[in-house]
């Protein structure tokens, strides 16, 4: 049964998130998270727009899975890679291949709150720096991007508002397959 | 070269759209279209929410291709199926298999205006009724859904604001393929 393993909030300006017990989803994202908002400034993720152009926020929430974090850790040769180090907002468990869920998949929470998956996340260099610092091994910094490719989880927007709690059961609504 | 063939607006309450020469894209959709807005009430398309629940509007704009409209017409045994009869907002030309473009594909216009594809559209019964009425053959009504499956085009949200004109050249940004 897919479940919420951790809820995490980016409170300040830093990349790392911190674990919390519950969160309110509103149109725009996780209430209190620095990525909250209907729009965001274009960044290196969207190089087809000039940097700083206001664009729709389709990266409201970053989702990772404990299973994929464990594979990334094994690939990097470290004991653990925590969702907080990846700046994740939500960590799931019992969804083995989370990153393979296609865009437009919905994730429903018991309250009715719903996430709409917009796209797969692509690893950048920041988590590698965090992991290197945590373990005190600077040479780890460069190995994250390759280790996390197609294991970096998903991005989502809030389709329906509501409360989300740790240990919530998750229901997945998959898009219709094409022939 | 992919281009804008027609721009269409849903001005009133009806299903059919009408052709116009240009349109302003703002966060929420086509300015002046009845589907404009950051949210919409849940409908039969989203049966995992109670009908009428406010949800994020990931169906701001309906896109079809002239090429797929021609195939639908041929399948139904009629001369033409017009984008307006499908309630479309944008008709493209020179994108043969538009409906196969995956969610998270971006469509860029020369002004910088950009659409973010949220999902493939699934045919419903309304266009069949319109087509049957236009041709005066009630028996056509039932044949649209099958003829239009995987040829019904795409749904999009506005990623970046800007003006869109008929005959605009289109640039497609595809998501990274998975292995």
- Identify the CA nearest to A122 among candidates A150, A102, A143: A150
Cβ-defined contact of A56 to B122 (cutoff 8 Å): no
Q: What is the pLDDT of residues B56-115, one digit of tens each?
A: 999 999 999 999 999 999 999 999 999 999 999 999 999 989 999 999 999 999 999 999
Nearest neighbour of A56 by CB, restricted to B27, B104, B178: B27
Q: By a Cβ cutoff of 8 Å, what residues of chain A touch chain B?
A: 27, 38-39, 42, 48-49, 53-56, 58, 100, 102-104, 106, 108, 112, 114, 116, 118-120, 122, 150, 157-161, 171, 173, 175-176, 178-179
- Model confidence at B136, in pLDDT bands (50, 70, 90)? very high
Residues of B at the A interface, defined by Cβ within 8 angstroms: 27, 38-39, 42, 48-49, 53-56, 58, 100, 102-104, 106, 108, 112, 114, 116, 118-120, 122, 150, 157-161, 171, 173, 175-176, 178-179
CB of A6 closer than 8 Å to CB of A18? no
pLDDT band at A68 (very low <50, low <70, confident <90, very high): very high
Q: Find the closest chain A residue to B121 by CA distance.
A: A176
State the Cα–Cα distance between residues A121 and A87, nearest whole angstrom.
Answer: 12
pLDDT (0 to 100) of residue A50:
97
ipTM above 0.90, yes or no: yes
Mean pLDDT estimate for chain B: 95
Average pLDDT score over residue span A68-84: 96
Spatial distance between the Cα atoms of A106 and A109, rounded to a whole number of angstroms = 10
Supply the pLDDT for residue B176: 85
User: What is the average pLDDT across A130-147?
Assistant: 93
Cβ–Cβ gap B120/A58 under 8 Å: no
Distance CA A76, CA A81 (A): 9
Q: B124-127: which pairs have CB atoms within 8 A and are 24 or more residues apart?
A: B124/B44, B126/B15, B126/B87, B127/B15, B127/B81, B127/B85, B127/B86, B127/B87
Residue B124 has pLDDT above 80, yes or no: yes
Residues paired with A170 in a beta bridge? none
Q: Are B56 and A108 within 8 A, CB to CB? A: no
pLDDT, mean of residues A71-91: 96
Quote the CA–CA distance of B68 and B83 in Å, as a whole number.
10
pLDDT > 90? residue A176: no
Per-residue pLDDT, A44: 92
> pLDDT for B138-159, tens place per residue?
999 999 999 999 999 999 999 9
Interchain pair A175, B103: CB under 8 A: yes
**pLDDT value at position A42?**
97
Query: Between B141 and A13, where is the model more confident?
Result: B141
Residue A69, φ and ψ in degrees, nearest 5: -60, -40
A-chain residues within 8 Å CB-CB of B104? 58, 103, 118-119
Indicate if the pLDDT at residue B178 is higher than 80: no
- Integer angstrom CA distances of residue A1 from A15, A19, A25, A151, B53: 30, 22, 22, 20, 26
B167, with CB counted inside 10 A (0-12, 13-18, 19+), is exposed
Q: Give the residue on B whose Cα is nearest the Cα of A108.
A: B48
How, if at all, do strands B61-65 and B90-93 pair?
A: parallel
**Between A177 and B19, residue with greater pLDDT:** B19
Phi, then psi, of B68 in degrees rounded to 5: -70, -35
Q: Do A103 and B102 touch (CB under 8 A)?
A: yes
pTM: 0.96
Reference B62, options B5, B119, B143, B129; nearest CA is B119
- Per-residue pLDDT of B27-52, as tens digits, reads 999 999 999 999 999 999 999 999 99
pLDDT digits over A45-65, tens only?
999 999 999 999 999 999 999
Where in B66-112 does DSSP place strands (E)? 90-93, 106-108
Highest mean pLDDT among A99-108, A121-130, B13-22: A99-108
Section A92-111 average pLDDT: 96
What percent of chain A is predicted at pLDDT more than 90? Answer: 92
B179 pLDDT above the threshold of 90: no
Element (H, E) at A71: helix A66-76
Reduce the DSSP state of residue B145 to 3 states and report it.
helix
All residues of chain A having their beta carbon less than 8 Å from the beta carbon of residue B118 are 103-104, 116, 118
Give buried/exposed letters for A41-70 (b at 16+ CB in 10 A, else e): ebeeebeebeeebebbbbbbbbbbbbbbbe
């Amino acid at each position: 049964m897919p479940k919420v393993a951790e809820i995490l909030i980016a409170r300040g300006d830093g990349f790392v998130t911190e674990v919390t017990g519950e969160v309110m989803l509103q149109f725009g994202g996780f209430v209190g998270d620095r990525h909250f908002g209907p729009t965001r400034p274009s960044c290196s993720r969207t190089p087809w727009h000039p940097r700083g152009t206001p664009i729709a926020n389709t990266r409201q929430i970053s989702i990772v899975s404990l299973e994929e974090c464990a594979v990334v850790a094994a690939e990097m040769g470290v004991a653990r890679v925590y969702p907080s180090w990846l700046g994740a907002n939500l960590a799931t468990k019992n969804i083995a291949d989370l990153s393979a869920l296609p865009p437009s998949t919905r994730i429903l929470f018991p309250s009715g709150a719903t996430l709409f998956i917009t796209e797969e996340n692509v690893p950048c260099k920041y988590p590698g720096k965090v992991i290197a610092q945590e373990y005190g091994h600077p040479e780890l910094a460069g190995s994250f991007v390759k280790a996390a490719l197609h294991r970096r989880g998903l991005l989502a927007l809030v389709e329906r508002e509501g409360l989300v709690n740790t240990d919530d059961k998750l229901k997945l609504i998959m898009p219709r397959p094409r022939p």
